[in-house]
Each structure stands twice: as structure tokens, then as C-alpha cells.
Amino acid sequence: MKTSTLVVLMIVVVAAGAATGLFVYRYMQDSASATSASATDRRPDFSLPDLEGNKRAVAEWDGKVLMVNFWATWCPPCLRELPAFIQLQDDFGDQGLAIVGIAIDTPEAVRDFVDPMGINYPILLGEQQGIALSQAYGNRLGALPYTIIVDRNGNIVSRHRTEMTYEETAAMLKPLL
């Protein structure tokens, strides 16, 4: 191998390593700050269409403990957590829990998916606007699934960039209900 080719290859490897290191550093910073929120971190307002095309505003759920889940039909961890959310809505809906799913997907894919799953909470169609909205809610990396929990006063109390289980979510919700 020529010396010049070897030098170029070494530069590429060092640059790739530096980029990876920067990504990991930013991800760790973002992960550490994204698991909790201060009591003054207010939820952003938004309005999105539901599956029937009706505009739904987040203010509709004021006074409730609100769980907003950003998801997509092509996201395996998103799909794995949906049964837990369906059960949470059944178990805690009468205590003031409102779950709202925001699909980062095409309307056709969402409609074809939602009915067979038996989702018992509102699904809003975010598409590209949903990505910007998830960022407004603190999802700087654009990860899916992304779930935030808002208390009855409209304050974001936690953010989660990973798949959530029934048990961990119920433990976070119970003190707020």
C-alpha cells in the first residue's frame, strides 16, 4: 500500500472515531438530561388531526395526567410498548390519565395499524410536523419511541427516549394520579 493511501486511510479512521466520540458524548448528555424535567418545564401547545381528520388540541387534556407518546408503525420498540399503554389507559383512565399517541408516519399506515391493535386512546397524525413537535418536547435526537409525562398543571415531569414497560410507567404515573 502506498504511503499516501495509508495516510488518507488513517485520517478517515481518526475522523470517524472523533465523530463517533462526539455523538456518544452528546447522546449521553442528552440522555442524562432527558429523564427528568423541572417543575417549570411547561408542555408546548399543539394541534394535530386525529384519524378522522378532526383537529385535536393538547389543551383538551388540561387537568389530566397526560402521557404523550411519539411512535411509528415501522418502529419495533414502539410497537412492543403499545400493549402496555393500552392496559395503562384501561387501568388508570378513570383516575385522570389521558394517553395520546402521535404517529410519525403516513395516515394510511397508521389507519391500517390502529384498528387491529385495539388502541383505546387518541392517535394523532404527526407526520413531519410530529418530528418538530417531539423536538419541542425535548427530543433533541429525534429518537422513537419518545414519551413524555405531564402533570395535571401542564408541567413536564419526565421524558423517556426508550421503550417503556407497564410496571415502570405505572410507577411513574401513580403519584401523579
43 and 58 Cβ atoms separated by less than 8 Å: yes
Query: 165: which 3 cell numbers?
Result: 414497560
0.85 exceeded by the pTM?
no
Domain co-membership, 122 together with 152: yes
Domain co-membership, 26 together with 63: no
pLDDT in tens, 57-72: 999 999 999 999 999 9
Domain count along the chain: 2
pLDDT in tens, 128-141: 899 999 999 999 98
Domain co-membership, 68 together with 116: yes
Q: How far apart are CA 152 and CA 174, in angstroms?
A: 12
Residue with cell 386525529: 50
- Residue of 99, 114, 104 whose CA lies nearest to 52: 114
Domain co-membership, 4 together with 81: no
Least-confidence region, from 63-67, 108-112, 147-151 = 108-112
pLDDT in tens, 5-42: 665 555 655 454 444 443 433 444 344 334 445 445 89
Domain co-membership, 47 together with 127: yes
Domain co-membership, 24 together with 46: no
For position 165, what pLDDT does the model report?
Answer: 97
Q: The domain that contains 105 carries what CATH number?
A: 3.40.30.10
Domain co-membership, 22 together with 73: no
Give the number of other CB atoms < 10 A from CB of residue 72.
20
Q: How far apart are CA 148 and CA 146, in angstroms?
A: 7
- Residue of 171, 152, 169, 170 whose CA lies nearest to 160: 169
Host domain of residue 115: 37-176
Domain co-membership, 24 together with 43: no
Domain co-membership, 55 together with 68: yes
pLDDT in tens, 70-96: 999 999 999 999 999 999 999 999 999
Domain co-membership, 78 together with 161: yes
